[in-house]
């Protein structure tokens, strides 16, 4: 076995693993963001914990995504270039599915950049760009389904289904809770009153 083949296999496994972990972390970050929008808290789980966890998980997702993209570019078999990382639908390998991942990445760059500059931006601008996560996440799921080799296996589909279930459950809870609660009404036993966002 040559060094190139070993390197290629190593890149391939790292790319697959980090892509899947990035999707799981992104799903968790989106779920926490949705829950945090409702300012969910209780005496045992203050609101700042949800916000801090959301930011930390999102940052960790970005780190895994950086490794995923780097190994995809380094992998000889896929033939992805650095321009393909930024410009959608140019890849020779599964152009539609890799292109959806590229669009998700581009949106993610905007979300991360505005989050880092949040103190210098208007709340309206930050919030508008941050809503892009609702588009970013399904594009990342579609990218994983179409470009990922593990999405065809039972365990890969189970991971994807869990990610979708998590975000859907968070969205149902968030929008359901907004409809049921009135301003200043306690959300449950021992919890702090919240405002509808």
Contact 47, 36 (CB under 8 A): yes
pLDDT, residue 80, reads 86
Q: Quick check: is 126 in a domain?
A: yes
Q: Quick check: is 187 in a domain?
A: no
- Which pLDDT band holds residue 188 (cuts at 50, 70, 90)? very low
Contact 111, 134 (CB under 8 A): no
Q: Quick check: is 196 in a domain?
A: no
Domain membership of residue 12 as a residue range? 3-180
What is the number of domains present in the chain?
1
The answer on pLDDT for 191 being more than 50 is: no
pLDDT, residue 175, reads 78
92 against 42, higher pLDDT: 92
The answer on pLDDT for 185 being more than 70 is: no
Predicted model pTM: 0.79
d(CA 51, CA 29): 10
CA atoms within 13 A on the CB side of 13: 5
Per-chain mean pLDDT for the chain: 81
Instruction: Please tell me the least confidently modeled range out of 37-41, 86-90, 189-193.
Output: 189-193
Instruction: Please tell me the least confidently modeled range out of 9-18, 43-52, 106-115, 142-151.
Output: 43-52
d(CA 185, CA 181): 6
175 against 197, higher pLDDT: 175
Q: Quick check: is 97 in a domain?
A: yes
Per-residue pLDDT tens digits for 17-63: 999 999 999 999 999 888 776 555 556 656 666 678 888 999 999 99
Q: Quick check: is 19 in a domain?
A: yes
pLDDT, residue 142, reads 95
Q: Quick check: is 163 in a domain?
A: yes
Q: Quick check: is 195 in a domain?
A: no
């Amino acid at each position: 076995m040559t060094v190139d083949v070993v390197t290629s296999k190593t890149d391939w496994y790292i790319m697959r693993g980090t892509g899947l972990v990035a999707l799981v972390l992104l799903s968790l970050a989106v779920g926490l963001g949705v829950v945090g929008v409702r300012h969910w808290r209780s005496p045992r789980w203050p609101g700042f914990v949800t916000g801090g966890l959301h930011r930390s998980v999102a940052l960790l997702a970005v780190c895994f995504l950086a490794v995923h993209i780097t190994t995809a570019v380094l992998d000889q078999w896929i033939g992805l270039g650095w321009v393909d990382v930024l410009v959608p639908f140019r890849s020779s390998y599964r152009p539609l599915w890799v292109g959806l991942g590229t669009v998700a990445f581009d949106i993610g760059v905007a979300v991360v950049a505005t989050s880092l500059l949040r103190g210098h931006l208007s709340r309206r601008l930050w919030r508008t760009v941050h809503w892009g996560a609702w588009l970013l996440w399904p594009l990342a799921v579609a990218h994983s389904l179409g470009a990922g080799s593990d999405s065809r296996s039972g365990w890969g589909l189970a991971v994807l289904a869990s990610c979708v279930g998590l975000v859907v459950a968070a969205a149902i809870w968030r929008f359901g809770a907004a409809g049921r609660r009135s301003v200043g009404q306690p959300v449950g036993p021992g919890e702090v009153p919240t405002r509808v966002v």
